[in-house]
Structure formats: structure tokens, C-alpha cells
Structure 1
């Protein structure tokens, strides 16, 4: 059984969570009070079971963790890079939120199958986004 602890990690310095992301999370009743970005280096010595990258850059630069966790790439275009009207930007954040939610649901289904670690990796690889796909 896996204990799930979701953490947003950046490979570059970020000092705040995007306000559009905060807005979407709040609309879905997700507590954002203590939400803040954490740098990747904070987790290099942690005992991590699964690492999921959400952008191509993180996927390409993701370090090797000591306990050899399962890796999956659920790539999305960065909604923070979106330009347009406020409404268009919010639509992109809503879409990415929905896609991430679907991937989390998939992850939970896979983890609840009571299968081997290798089979979990295989199932996640089957549903992973190839880096070139998320750039489209």
C-alpha cells in the first residue's frame, strides 16, 4: 500500500504558486493556505516511491533518487506560459486541472490493483505522455 503525499517541486527558483492555479484549486475546495513551491533539492535524500513529472523540462532534468522510485511522465503544456484574455488563461488552467485529476484517478486505480512494483511501472508507462506529445 502506498501513502500518497503530493508535493509541487520546481527545478528552478519560484517564490509563489501561480494565482490562477490557486483560484482553480479553491474552486475545487482544495486547501491552498500553506501551499508554496519547494525546490527539487529538498527531496533528493527522501524515500520516495513514485515521481511524476508534469512538464517536459522536469522530465528531462529529473535526478535519480536513492531508492529508485517508479517514474511517470504526465506531461502538460505549462498553463502559466499561456497568453490571452483572462478567460482564455483560466480555461487553460481549468483544462490542465481536469487532466491532472484524471491522471491521479488513473494512478489510484493502478496503485489499488495490488500488483508488483514492476507492474505499476509498466502500467504507468502505458499511460505516460511522451515528452514530444506534451509540447503539442
Structure 2
């Protein structure tokens, strides 16, 4: 099984999804993430994932790899921008869309912003766990 998580900048949501999927899904699955653009890895994303004992500090923000995309079993978009701008895929590739708030757009105090990152992280973890149930039945 090959999963591809896509977002606008591959800096927050798709990085979280990749991190959780690599931990939760079977070890022989191929899992990657990418963006329509590259915005660099968000430091707050690294911090909130570390709170879950998942180290993504060496990850890089990557552009969509056409070959990986076309060989994926599932393509999961985590924002409307990625859903709308993702290249067309053949019908054999299953597409899922998880409309998630962009934590990088959060405003307020540092703690308020971190709460948004944690909320999005926890929602992604729940969705990845549910996806595992659905795909491994």
C-alpha cells in the first residue's frame, strides 16, 4: 500500500499526517507527503509532533513527485488548495479529502497558536487511526 499526503506547502498538516502514518500504519507501507509549493518545515509542527514522541525534525518540505503520485494507492489532501490544484490522477487511485484548518495561519499568543497546532495534530492522528481501521479490515 502506498499513501501520499498532500497540502499547500508541506510544512504542517501533511508533515503531521506522514509522521503519524509512518508510526501507525503497517511497516511495509510506503508513506510520503508533499506540497503544491514548498514552505519549509514549520518549527511548531516539529514541536507538537515531538510531544507525541514522533521526530520529524529531519523531514523536508517537498514538491509533489509525479511518479510517486501516479503509483500511490491513496492520495489524501489536507486542504482545499491541494485538493483543487492536485494533478489529475487515474480512477485507480483513491482520493480522500480531509478539510483541516491551517495551523500556520493561527493568530494570538504563542500558547494560543500552539493550541491550534495541537488541535490540528490530534485531529490528524484520529483520522490516520480511522484510516488504518478502514484499510486493514
Distance of 2:57 and 2:110 partners within structure 1: 23
Gaps of 5+ in 2: 3-27
Output the TM-score relative to the length of structure 1: 0.74
Is the aligned partner of 1:99 residue 2:123?
yes
Is the aligned partner of 1:45 residue 2:67?
yes
| Residue matched to 1:88 | 112
Q: Secondary structure at the match of 1:32?
A: coil
**Preserved CA contact (<8 Å) 1:11 1:39:** yes
Q: What is the deviation of 1:65?
A: 3.2
Q: Secondary structure at the match of 2:32?
A: coil
Distance of 1:106 and 1:76 partners within structure 2: 16
Give a deviation string over 1:28-61, Cα, whole Å, max 9, x none: 1112242111101x2x122111000001100111
Give a deviation string over 1:73-95, Cα, whole Å, max 9, x none: 01101000111110010000000
| Residue matched to 2:54 | 30
Distance of 2:58 and 2:135 partners within structure 1: 27
CA RMSD of aligned residues (A): 1.7
Gaps of 5+ in 1: 114-136
Tell me which of the two structures has the higher relative contact order, counting C-alpha pairs closer than 8 angstroms and 6 or more residues apart.
Answer: 2
Count of aligned pairs: 110
| Residue matched to 2:36 | 11
Larger Rg: 1
Q: Secondary structure at the match of 1:64?
A: coil
**Preserved CA contact (<8 Å) 1:45 1:65:** no
**Preserved CA contact (<8 Å) 1:50 1:69:** yes
